[in-house]
Amino acid sequence: MAFGNCFRPLEQGVGVKKSGSFPLIVVTGLSGAGKSTALNVFEDLHFFCVDGLPASMLPRMVELFQGMDKAHRGLALGMDLRQLDFVEEWDSATAQLADMGMKPQVVFLETRQDTLLTRYATTRRLHPLETNALGLEQALDTERQLMAPIRESADLVVDTTGYSIHDLRRIIQEKWTDLEAPSSCMRVHLLTFGFKYGVPIDADLVFDLRFLPNPYFDPALRNLSGKDTQVSHYVLESEVGRAFQKRFVDFFCYLLPLYATEGRYRVTVALGCTGGRHRSVATGELLYKVLKDSGYAVTMEHRHCELG
């Protein structure tokens, strides 16, 4: 089933690369979610990286890099609540950057609460907000609340729950290809998952696709995935699948421009089936192509595809 360009992304100045500028990445998020590992990835991508930079120093760092460094492809800065005034200074710093014709692309890392508790117990490090009067769990809750506005405006949100260092490296490398070409339209992150492994906490919209025909029960298709043509045809070219395709695409044609009008420029859409391998992946690949052809900056993550 073919679809035309029915989407009309709105200009919002997201990630616009000004003349003579360079990629500016800010890696932030919850303490313990993997920021240092993400910065190592950007270092391998030939970015000049600085960790623990105060937000007030951001404009000055950009000035220094812009005037002196010619060997690196861009600047990647790690920032978090180790500087306790980070949140308060963030708006002022980004406003100064806007006056300079620069807008950072923000990568926000987060992790489920129980995973963070385990990581801190393993490393035995103190959380930046932890005190004699504020325990670790309360410190994590406070940090999540303080960082919520920055998460909401981030260009990319990555939930590192269950990721090894190697998994996180691979995900950042894959997603950087989409951040590498800045877009002036709204960003959409598509995430496929299996309900048997739990619903993603980082989704704005969740769709249950378990009503579609299930290739799992066909022995010839069971070991394939929704990326394979045979599975995609089985799921989406059935009578139910064809009717669903049209309604699903029409829904996003209607919805995304409304989000953009309200000032949203990032939406995470989670598509789920039982195991996250067949129906959700086939639908995600379809929607990815439609959005890409329609001019949206879209990223795709098949979170559970290889687990089943």
Q: Is 112 annotated as a binding residue?
A: no
Of 161, 181, 201, the residue that ends a domain is 181
Specify the pLDDT at position 164. Answer: 77
Q: How far apart are CA 111 and CA 195, in angstroms?
A: 18
According to the model, what pLDDT value does residue 201 have? Answer: 84
Last residue of a domain, one of 118, 152, 181: 181
Q: Are residues 131 and 102 in the same domain?
A: yes
Instruction: From residue 294, give the alpha-carbon distance in Å to each of 187, 243, 253.
Output: 12, 21, 10
What's the domain range around 279?
189-302
Establish if 244 belongs to a structural domain: yes
Q: What is the pLDDT of residues 206-245, one digit of tens each?
A: 999 999 999 999 999 999 999 999 999 999 999 999 999 9
For residue 37, being part of any structural domain is answered with yes
pLDDT at 14: 34
Q: Where are the alpha helices (DSSP H) in 100-132?
A: 113-123
276 is in an annotated binding site: no
Could you read off the pLDDT of 47-85 as tens digits, one per residue?
899 998 888 889 989 888 876 667 788 899 998 877 767
Q: Which of 154, 181, 208 is the last residue of a domain?
A: 181
- Say whether 134 counts as a known binding-site residue: no
Q: Is 13 annotated as a binding residue?
A: no
**72 and 107 belong to one structural domain:** yes
78 is in an annotated binding site: no
Residue 308 within a domain: no
- 153 annotated ligand-binding residue: no
Q: Are residues 164 and 195 in the same domain?
A: no
Q: Is 275 annotated as a binding residue?
A: no
Residue 166 confidence (pLDDT): 76
Q: Is 103 annotated as a binding residue?
A: no
Identify the pLDDT of residue 281: 96
Residues 121, 48 within the same domain: yes
pLDDT of amino acid 67: 67
Q: Is 101 annotated as a binding residue?
A: no
CB 50 within 8 A of CB 100: no
Predicted TM-score (pTM) of the model is 0.57
How many domains is the chain partitioned into structurally? Answer: 2
- The verdict on residue 11 lying in a domain is no
Q: Which amino acid is at 148?
A: A
Bridge partners of residue 35, in order along the sequence:
none
Asked whether the beta carbons of 29 and 139 are under 8 A apart, the reply is no
Q: For residue 147, give the CATH number of its domain.
A: 3.40.50.300
Low-confidence stretches of the chain (pLDDT beneath 50): 2, 4, 8-20, 181-184
Annotated ligand binding at 35? The verdict is yes
203 and 169 share a domain? no
Q: What amino acid is encoded at 212 in this protein?
A: L
The SS3 of residue 65 is helix
Annotated binding residue 83: yes
Residue 59's nearest CA partner among 1, 31, 101, 16 is 101
